Amino acid sequence: MVKNRREMLAGYVDGELSDEERQAFEAALAQDPELRAELEEFKRLQEVTGVMQYADLPDEVWDNYWQSIYRKTERGFGWILLSLGAIILLCFGLYEVMRELYVDSQIPLWVKIGVTAGGVGFIILLVSYIRERLFAYNRTRYKEVIK
């Protein structure tokens, strides 16, 4: 049983009330001119929305719909491969730079310490960020769909 008579108005207009609710609502309607005015307003609203429909798209757009999505899924795979390749190359480059840095006796110690501190700081921040994202990922249902 719906408590609020005014809220029942929506159900009455749409024929969604049970017999008991409908009878109770009609009894209230007979005694309440404001409620009757609201009912008329809702009916007028339905008259307008009843003749409206959403626009459609031309057939050729629908014919090409799947192809467009398919191309995007392929591009997604391409991006994954590209990112993977870039990460591998970046890691290798960093390894080479760090190796040169520590082997080369010409480079002052304070530069080596500075670069090491910066590198360790970056790794800590990266790990922390990844951990936070994983934490949120494991606790959110349908996480991919929420932006």
Residues that bind another protein (CB under 8 A): 2, 4, 6-11, 14, 16, 38, 41-42, 44-57, 61-62, 65-66, 68-70, 72-73, 76, 141-147
46 and 14 in contact (C-beta within 8 Å)? no
Q: What is the secondary structure of 87-116 as a DSSP string?
A: HHHHHHHHHHHHHHHHH-TTS-HHHHHHHH
Looking at the Cβ atoms of 75 and 99, the one nearer to another protein is 75
The amino acid present at 29, given as its one-letter code, is: L
Residue 8 burial (10 A CB sphere; 0-12, 13-18, 19+): buried
Looking at the Cβ atoms of 56 and 106, the one nearer to another protein is 56
Q: How far is the CB of 54 from another protein (least distance, A)?
A: 5
* Alpha-carbon gap, residue 1 to 6, rounded angstroms: 13
Looking at the Cβ atoms of 3 and 106, the one nearer to another protein is 3
Query: If you search the block for the tokens 């959403």, which residue do you land on?
Result: 54
Looking at the Cβ atoms of 65 and 92, the one nearer to another protein is 65
Q: How far is the CB of 122 from another protein (least distance, A)?
A: 29
Q: How far is the CB of 2 from another protein (least distance, A)?
A: 6
8 and 17 in contact (C-beta within 8 Å)? yes
Q: How far is the CB of 130 from another protein (least distance, A)?
A: 18
